[in-house]
Structure 1
Amino acid sequence: MTQHRRIALLGPGAPAGLLPAMVDLAVRGLPPGYVDGEFVFTRRGVRRPDGTWDAVAEGRSVRYSAIVALGVATLPEERQRAALAGDTAADLAGRLVGRLPGVRGLGDAALICWAAAETGHPGLDEALRHLAGIDRLASSGQVYTVEAAWELAALVAARTRLGASSELDGRLERARAGLLGGLASGRLYRHVLGPSSGPLVPWYRAHVGCFADQVYPLQALARLHAAVGDADALAAAEQVAAGICAAQGAEGQWWWHYDARTGAVVEGYPVYSVHQLAMAPMALLDLADAGGTAYLDEIGEGVRWMSERPESGESLIDERLSLTWRKAARADPKKLVRGLRAVATRTRPAARLATLDRFYPPVAVDRECRPYELGWLLYAWLFELPRPS
């Protein structure tokens, strides 16, 4: 099988050699989580009496189903049907469009709209109308940064599918302004756009943004530039990419929490498999495809962490179950470290509380796999972003 262009960019050998196997693993690993035309929330690890692991399906998730639709849409039809137990990505997107009357969250509606656009589903107009109604309800206060980024990405995908219109371009401009405004007072994104104090985050975390809060705006802004030639959007995407790459761990770790004011790492762990294999490559390769900086070394180091991580010798890739375990974390079930470091850096940005590293080492493995992790893996490495002319 011909190696995909994005994988080939990393050159021969490790870590690029791992990626074709991971694409195959994702296709095999999706069907066990696909139940009655919808994806489960997670496959949770359960230890068997003989010491091996099984994965038990739990819950349902519209959001994760939409992300999988995006990822599976990059595959040829035959492989789509293998990943979706006989369905295609368009079939899945159609079911999600049918669920829209009951969808109230901005993020879920945006992802469904995005999936409808990229699968060419005829329900795209309906999805756009529903998204517009939710957007008006959410526009008066704080909005999660991730959800605002998904909205912009969905609108860009819709414009690419449908062409320009005054109504769609007006919505694009409002979504763009919201994301660009989120960088006005710092180097990276906070967890929310809008007022720093409000109902969505506690006061002691108002200055903090997680890795997802950086990756999704980076991706959406890069795609906006690729679609319409928006230099300000590209500059903002470059700023965020430079920030997360400067903070990357010595062994390729994409750290978890940042001080949005300075770009410093507040708390590194947990480190997530999906960040290493999918989300960081997805956003940074979109930036490169849009004409921005190509952070190929950083992408490669992040992927390499999956097979050569220093935290322990325990693998996060389970070939037998066709999944990746979710994250490497501290033995800190009450999330004490991240809370204390958030409080400390609120008033003293350089505070580290280094003693906590000794008491809570990052030796735990979170044994679950959520379907979106495999969906983004496919999307990161198989999607082709049209390059600006």
Structure 2
Amino acid sequence: MTRHEGRLGALAEIDTAAAELVDRMVGLSIRGLPPGYVNGEFVFTRRGRREADGRWAAVPEGRSVRYSAIVALGVAPLPLDLQRAALAGDTVLDLVGNLISGLPAVSNLGDAALIAWAAAESGHQELPRALSRLAELEAATKPGDPVYTVEVSWALAAVVAAHRVLGDAHDLGARMEHAGDRLLAGLGDDRLYRHVIGPASWYRAHVGCFADQVYPLQALARLHAHTGHEAAARAAEQIAAGICAAQGAQGQWWWHYDARTGGVVEGYPVYSVHQLSMAPMALLDLADAGGTSYMKEIALGLSWMTSRPEVDDELIVEELDLTWRKAARDDPKKIVRGVRAVATAINQGSRIAMLDRIYPPLAVDHECRPYELGWLLYAWRFALPRDTAGTKE
């Protein structure tokens, strides 16, 4: 597939400037990943630091299995030479192999699901081992226990991807059905997804963040594309319609929602990864599954990265090959989020508008986490950067 076909080509038909931005960002992501790749895994973040001369530097901090797995998903579709460019000489099989070797120490369901998903999409021979660890962690969750919506979504995406490769081996057919039912049950009669499926704190039980919508939407769309699951298709369409109806006038994908109504509880921060990667990724998967196309909303969200009302700082930093993480309120204790969560728990639709004046969205978070670039590559897969041929080797 050439760079003028598929997702990038469809975007170009709607908005040439948005397509040019994506083309630019794919190249930036491939260049921006190696500085965060250390000894076969990715750092947690590259944190911005002002140097004496006033320029920005990005300092690597920590390590992250989760972000390493997401980068593996993003890099997997690339030709081998671009895989090596993104992974400082390694291939995606090297990265996935490192992740699988560390599975005994992985205790988080979401991390295990992402590793299994990456193993399936990269064609790694140790996929059965990854699926086994995922099953162990799923079995450790008792019926009725609270589980994070995002992690349940990743588990479904993982078994769908594995079923495409292995069929019903390893009981994958039954696992896929169970995972789909579990995620659909979590939606219930709500308009959107809550952060937690099961019991949660009363004042936040009704709240779901943007990730809590994107990942179920993606997983359910993929389940429908693979099996024709009609309930999954209906739920995916409902979530997509909900987040697109709530999208800001300048393309903002807002942060927190009232799952009961679909209304916005708190809009900020607005994250670069939501605008460039996560919203396009899920909505394009829905379209690929035969669902509604939201390309205009995708293009509008992309445009926020280059023209936004909140902050004047450039969020795309070419000299460091990264994007700054978010535009946020100057509210380090997240007071606005907490107050509005409580207010909407008591009275649906309550806004407490004076908080917008007290804490305007004027701050930029100067860091970049590797998953932000990984999801960008995954969302726009096959959109090879301009002037880069890419070889299969």
For 2:343 and 2:155, the matched residues in 1 are separated by: 33
Matches within 5 A, 1:153-232: 153-165=157-169, 167-195=171-199, 197=200, 202-232=201-231
**Residue deviations 1:59-115 (CA, integer Å, cap 9, x gap):** 000000000000011211100000001101111001101000110000000000000
Who is 1:149 aligned against? 153
Q: CA deviation at 1:18?
A: 0.6
| 8 Å CA contact 1:4, 1:382 repeated in 2 | no
| 8 Å CA contact 1:258, 1:264 repeated in 2 | yes
| 8 Å CA contact 1:281, 1:380 repeated in 2 | yes
Matches within 5 A, 1:360-371: 360-371=359-370
| 8 Å CA contact 2:273, 2:372 repeated in 1 | yes
Unaligned runs of 5+ in 1: 385-389
Who is 1:327 aligned against? 326
Aligned match of 1:127 in 127, 130, 138?
130
Residues 301 and 139 (structure 1), Cα distance of their counterparts in 2 relative to 1, 3 Å cut = farther
For 2:16 and 2:260, the matched residues in 1 are separated by: 38
Who is 2:390 aligned against? none
Residues 241 and 176 (structure 1), Cα distance of their counterparts in 2 relative to 1, 3 Å cut = same
| 8 Å CA contact 2:119, 2:127 repeated in 1 | yes
For 1:123 and 1:304, the matched residues in 2 are separated by: 41
For 1:15 and 1:308, the matched residues in 2 are separated by: 12
For 1:155 and 1:4, the matched residues in 2 are separated by: 28
For 2:4 and 2:98, the matched residues in 1 are separated by: 32
For 2:142 and 2:270, the matched residues in 1 are separated by: 32
Who is 1:387 aligned against? none
Q: CA deviation at 1:5?
A: 1.6
Who is 1:106 aligned against? 109
Matches within 5 A, 1:69-80: 69-80=72-83
Q: CA deviation at 1:182?
A: 1.2
Q: Tell me the secondary structure at the aligned position of residue 291 of structure 2.
A: coil
2:4 is the alignment partner of 1:3: yes
Residues 169 and 10 (structure 1), Cα distance of their counterparts in 2 relative to 1, 3 Å cut = same
| 8 Å CA contact 2:255, 2:268 repeated in 1 | yes
Q: 170-179 vs 372-381, which deviates more?
A: 170-179
For 2:70 and 2:109, the matched residues in 1 are separated by: 14
**Which amino acid is the alignment partner of residue 206 of structure 1?**
A
Who is 1:263 aligned against? 262
Q: Tell me the secondary structure at the aligned position of residue 129 of structure 2.
A: helix
Who is 1:234 aligned against? 233
Q: CA deviation at 1:139?
A: 3.7
**Which amino acid is the alignment partner of residue 228 of structure 1?**
T
Q: CA deviation at 1:226?
A: 0.6
Q: 45-54 vs 158-167, which deviates more?
A: 158-167
| 8 Å CA contact 1:178, 1:193 repeated in 2 | no
Residues 50 and 4 (structure 1), Cα distance of their counterparts in 2 relative to 1, 3 Å cut = farther
Aligned match of 1:56 in 52, 59, 63?
59
Who is 1:34 aligned against? 37
Who is 2:387 aligned against? none
| 8 Å CA contact 1:254, 1:271 repeated in 2 | yes
Q: Tell me the secondary structure at the aligned position of residue 175 of structure 1.
A: helix
Q: CA deviation at 1:164?
A: 2.7
Task: State the percentage of identical aligned residues.
Answer: 67
**Which amino acid is the alignment partner of residue 122 of structure 1?**
Q
Q: 114-123 vs 11-20, which deviates more?
A: 11-20
Q: 246-255 vs 155-164, which deviates more?
A: 155-164
Q: Tell me the secondary structure at the aligned position of residue 376 of structure 1.
A: helix
Taking structure 2 as the reference length, the TM-score comes to 0.95
Residues 74 and 138 (structure 1), Cα distance of their counterparts in 2 relative to 1, 3 Å cut = same
Q: CA deviation at 1:331?
A: 0.5
| 8 Å CA contact 1:106, 1:138 repeated in 2 | no
Specify which structure has the bigger relative contact order, considering alpha-carbon pairs within 8 angstroms and separated by 6 or more residues: 2
User: Which 4+ runs in 1 deviate beyond 3 A?
Assistant: none
Residues 36 and 4 (structure 1), Cα distance of their counterparts in 2 relative to 1, 3 Å cut = farther
Aligned match of 1:44 in 37, 44, 47?
47
For 1:136 and 1:166, the matched residues in 2 are separated by: 15
For 1:54 and 1:329, the matched residues in 2 are separated by: 21
Who is 1:245 aligned against? 244
| 8 Å CA contact 1:42, 1:59 repeated in 2 | yes
Matches within 5 A, 1:85-104: 85-104=88-107
Unaligned runs of 5+ in 2: 384-393
| 8 Å CA contact 2:327, 2:363 repeated in 1 | yes
**Which amino acid is the alignment partner of residue 190 of structure 1?**
R
For 2:56 and 2:169, the matched residues in 1 are separated by: 52
Q: CA deviation at 1:178?
A: 1.0
Who is 2:391 aligned against? none
Aligned match of 1:23 in 26, 43, 56?
26
Aligned match of 1:68 in 68, 71, 89?
71
For 1:138 and 1:56, the matched residues in 2 are separated by: 37
Q: Tell me the secondary structure at the aligned position of residue 177 of structure 2.
A: helix
Q: Tell me the secondary structure at the aligned position of residue 138 of structure 1.
A: coil
Q: Tell me the secondary structure at the aligned position of residue 54 of structure 1.
A: strand
Q: CA deviation at 1:173?
A: 1.2
For 2:279 and 2:167, the matched residues in 1 are separated by: 29
Q: Tell me the secondary structure at the aligned position of residue 300 of structure 2.
A: helix
**Residue deviations 1:13-43 (CA, integer Å, cap 9, x gap):** 2111111110000000000000011000000
Q: Tell me the secondary structure at the aligned position of residue 250 of structure 2.
A: coil
